[in-house]
């Protein structure tokens, strides 16, 4: 079971939320910015207690329907990245609006409040993870990866990769070679 928390946008918030979960004796797995994954369903009473505890921190649980929208946006992002080369060439915002049949500014605000990052930032992060994956598989060169993920150029891909990881794609790929040589 996953719950989404509005305004949980810092590591400090994450730690405070974990403290509240521990205080309530709730068994949780992963806690990320804007979301908590529970190991089991929580009761209505536990949900109410958690809501009250979180309000003391200045954050709040999103209702189930909004949490569902966040999950749908995340699924759209994964789809956008995984199938970038086969999807129609339209803006990410248009694609997400069409898929969710919703107003993009509303979806974007909801997503940002719940996760602490914008939809576009999340797309970039997913794309960089996909680039890493493709570099490690060593099946495509950088030009082919850039085309597959709809980058306008290798320079654009490399710039985003360096900004996100601190490494160039070539250096990252070289790390695999060094690791295999050891």
- pLDDT grade for 178, boundaries at 50, 70 and 90: low
Rounded mean pLDDT, 8-22:
84
- Can you give the pTM of this predicted structure? 0.70
Place of tokens 């990320």: 32
88 burial (CB, 10 Å; 0-12 / 13-18 / 19+) is exposed
Q: For the chain, what are the domain ranges?
A: 2-61, 64-182
| 77-116 pLDDT tens trace | 999 998 888 877 889 999 999 999 999 999 999 999 888 8
Closest CA to 92 of 127, 131, 62, 144: 127
Mean pLDDT of the chain: 87
- To the question of domain 64-182 being in CATH 1.10.10.60, the answer is yes
For residue 60, the model assigns a pLDDT of 82
Q: Write out the two tokens for 70.
A: 């966040």
What is the full DSSP assignment across 159-181?
A: HHHHHHHSS-HHHHHHHHHHHHH
């Amino acid at each position: 079971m996953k719950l989404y928390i509005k305004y949980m946008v810092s590591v400090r918030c994450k730690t405070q939320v974990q403290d509240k979960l521990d205080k309530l004796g709730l068994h949780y797995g992963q806690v990320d910015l804007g979301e908590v994954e529970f190991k089991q369903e929580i009761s209505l009473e536990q949900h109410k207690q958690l809501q009250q505890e979180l309000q003391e921190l200045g954050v709040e649980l999103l209702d189930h329907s909004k949490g569902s929208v966040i999950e749908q946006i995340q699924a759209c992002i994964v789809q956008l990245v995984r199938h970038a080369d086969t999807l129609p060439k339209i803006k990410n915002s248009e694609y997400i609006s069409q898929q969710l049949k919703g107003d993009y500014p509303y979806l974007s605000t909801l997503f940002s409040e719940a996760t602490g990052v914008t939809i576009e930032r999340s797309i970039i992060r997913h794309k960089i993870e996909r680039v890493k994956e493709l570099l490690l598989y060593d099946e495509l060169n950088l030009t082919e990866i850039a085309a597959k993920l709809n980058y306008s150029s290798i320079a654009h891909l490399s710039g985003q990769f360096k900004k996100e990881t601190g490494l160039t794609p070539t250096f990252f790929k070289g790390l695999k070679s060094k690791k295999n040589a050891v």
